[in-house]
Amino acid sequence: MNAPQYPMEQTLAQGTRCLFLPCDSNNIVAVTAFFPYGSVFEEPTQAGITDFTWRCLLRGTQKRSQAEYAEAVESLGSSISFRAGRDFSMASLVCTSDCLIPSLELFLEALEMPRFDPAEIEKERQTTLAAIREELDDKPSFAMRTFTATLFSNTTYGIPVNGTLESVKSFDQKQVEMLYHRIACWNHAVVVCVGNFNPGEVVAQLEDSARKTCEQPPPSYPSPCYSRGQNLEIRRAWEQSYLVIGFPACPITHRDYFPLRVLAGVLGEGMSSRFFVRLREEKGLAYATSCQLAAYRCGGYLAGTIGTKPESLDEAQELMLRILSDICQEKLPDTELERTKNYLIGKYLIGHQKNSARAFFLGSYEMLGLGWQIDEEYPRRLKSVTAEDVLEVAQQYLNSPTVIQIRPQG
C-alpha cells in the first residue's frame, strides 16, 4: 500500500463526513471524531461544561462500569480520550492495527451509550477541580489563563476550557446529560482516520454503531469582545516573575492570518527570534521567552511571554515593548523573513509525523472553516507572505497591549 497524498472523502448514511488516509508506514491507527462544540459557546457560569461532559463519557457505559471500561481499553493497549477545545471537541482513539475493530467498538460504546452515574460524575468533578488547581500552580498556565480571561472579558475565548473552580462545582447530572444529547451528534461530526487500516471496515462499523443524530443545527459561532489595553498585576509567592504582553488577533480564516503567523515567528519562535536573541541571548533576562499566536474560528490573540527574576521584570517589559514597537517601524530584512518562513514550514511538516497529528490537522481545519485542503496548501501560503504583509499586520494589530505582570508577594 502506498500512502496517498490526499485523504479520501466519504459521507456516511447518518451524515457523518469521513476523511480516510490509509498508509502502511507503521502499524498504528489514529481515529479522531471532531464535533463543532467548544468552550466558546459557554456562559461564564457554565465554563468548562462541554469539556466536563466529554470526560464523563469515559466514566462507564450502559454495558460496563468505569473500571470495566478502562480494563477493556487498556487490555488492548489502546488509548481513548475525549476533550473539548475552544471551537470544537475531539474524541480520539489511538491503537495498533490488529486491535482497531475491538478498540473502535469501545470508542463508539462510550460515545453512544454513556452511563452518567451520579457517583461517577462526582468523581469526575473532583478530578477536574484538581486539574484546575494544578493549572493555577503552573506559572505559564496560570499567566495565560489570566491573560485570556482579561483580553476576552471572561467570555468566548477567555473562558477556560476546563472551567473555573466555581463553575465546575455547579454542574449537575441533568445539565451534563442535556448537553451530551446536543453535542455528541454524528450528523455534525467529521471523522478522520489515518494509518494502517481498511476503510471499508471502519465505514461498516461507524454506520452500524454511530447512530445518535439530532435535528437541531450546531450554534453559530459568537464574535469575541476584546478588552484592549488592560494592565493587571498579580502577586504570587514564586521566585520568578512572569510577564504577558498581548493583543487581539484575527480569526484563522482571515487573510491576515498567515502574515500574523510569520510575525509571531519573527518575534518569538525558535532560537533566532527577536525575543530569544535580545531578551535571552543578549541580556540574559530569561530562560523561556516566546510569542504565541492563537487563531480561532472567530478571533484570537498574539502574546509575548517571559519569565524573569523579579528585579528584571520592568527591564524585560520595556525591552519587549521596544521590540514590538520596532517591528512596526520598518520592513523585515529579506534574510530574516526567509529564515523565519523556512523554520515555520519545516516545523509544520515535522509536526505531521504521527498519524494522530495528521488526523488532528485535517479535522481541525474542517472544524475551523478552512477545509482540510489547507493542510497541503499551508506551506505555500506561508511562503507567499511578504515583508510588506508583515509590516502591515504589525502596524494594525500591535497596539494597545494588554499587560499581565506576576510579581512576588511582599
- Per CB under 8 A, the segment of 147-155, 225-233, 294-302, 351-359 that binds other proteins is 351-359
Q: Which is nearer to other proteins, 2 or 220 (CB)?
A: 2
Handedness of CA 152, 154, 159, 165 (dihedral sign): positive
Q: Rule CB under 8 A: say whether 384 interacts with other proteins.
A: no
Distance (Å, rounded) from C-alpha 340 to C-alpha 79? 36
Strands 231-236, 402-408: pairing is parallel
Residue closer to other proteins (CB basis): 216 or 271: 271
One character per residue 292-311, x = contact with other proteins (rule: CB under 8 A) = ---------------xxx--
Q: Residues 173-176: contacts with CB within 8 Å, 24+ apart?
A: 173/116, 173/118, 173/121, 175/46, 175/49, 176/49, 176/52, 176/53, 176/56, 176/116, 176/121
The nearest distance, CB 11 to other proteins, in angstroms, is 30
Size of the residue set binding other proteins (CB under 8 A): 66
Instruction: Rule CB under 8 A: choose which of 102, 199, 218, 270 binds other proteins.
Output: 270
Among 340, 364, 402, 405, binds other proteins (CB under 8 A): 340
> CB-wise, 113 or 288, nearer to other proteins?
288
Which window, 43-51, 215-223, 292-300, 337-345, contacts other proteins (CB under 8 A)? 337-345
Cα separation, 67 vs 37, whole angstroms: 28
| CB of 113 or CB of 131, closer to other proteins | 131
Rounded least distance, CB 254 to other proteins, Å: 25
Query: What is the spatial distance between Cα 56 and Cα 179, in angstroms, rounded to a whole number?
Result: 12
97's grid cell: 492495527
Binding mask 133-152 for other proteins (x = CB under 8 A): xx-xxxx-------------
End-to-end CA distance of the chain: 65
**148: part of which helix (H) or strand (E)?**
helix 139-151
Residue 44 touches other proteins, criterion: CB under 8 A: no
The verdict on 266 binding other proteins (CB under 8 A) reads no
Residue for cell digits 481498511? 198
Task: Choose the stretch contacting other proteins; rule: CB under 8 A; options: 44-52, 83-91, 125-133, 363-371.
Answer: 125-133
Task: Give yes or no for residue 83 binding other proteins (CB under 8 A).
Answer: no
Q: Which stretch binds other proteins (CB under 8 A): 109-117, 224-232, 284-292, 396-404?
A: 284-292
Q: Which of 13, 225, 234, 349 binds other proteins (CB under 8 A)?
A: 349
Task: Judge contact between 39 and 161, C-beta under 8 A.
Answer: yes
- Taking CB under 8 A as the rule, does residue 123 contact other proteins? yes
In the set 166, 208, 233, 338, which binds other proteins (CB under 8 A)?
338
Q: Which 45-64 residues touch other proteins, going by CB under 8 A? A: 58
Q: 3-class SS at 407?
A: strand
- State the DSSP code for 283: T
- Report the residue number, 40 or 319, with the smaller CB distance to other proteins: 319
Q: Of these, 45, 62, 127, 231, which contacts other proteins (CB under 8 A)? A: 127
Q: Are 399 and 247 in contact (CB under 8 A)?
A: yes
Nearer to other proteins, 103 or 148 (CB): 103
Q: Is 345 in the site for other proteins (CB under 8 A)?
A: yes
CB of 165 to other proteins, least distance (A): 9
The interface with other proteins within residues 62-81 (CB under 8 A) comprises: 66-67, 70-71, 73-78
Residues 6 or more apart whose Cβ sits within 8 Å of residue 11 = 17, 18
> Does the protein bind other proteins through residue 350 (CB under 8 A)?
yes
- Of 98 and 377, which CB lies nearer to other proteins in the complex structure? 98
CA distance 396 to 388: 12
Q: For 15, left (φ over 0), alpha (ψ -120 to 50), or beta?
A: left
Nearest to 165 by CA among 24, 17, 79, 45: 45
Please state, in angstroms and as integers, the Cα–Cα distance from residue 313 to each residue in 77, 200, 241, 305, 317, following that order: 47, 58, 7, 11, 6
Q: Which of residues 228-257 bind other proteins (CB under 8 A)?
A: 236-240
Label residue 392 exposed, middle or buried (CB < 10 Å: 0-12, 13-18, 19+): middle
Residues forming a β-bridge with 308: 241
| Residue ranges binding other proteins (CB under 8 A) | 3, 25-28, 58, 66-67, 70-71, 73-78, 94-96, 123, 126-127, 129-131, 133-134, 136-139, 236-240, 270-272, 277, 280-288, 307-309, 338-340, 342-343, 345-347, 349-350, 353-355, 409
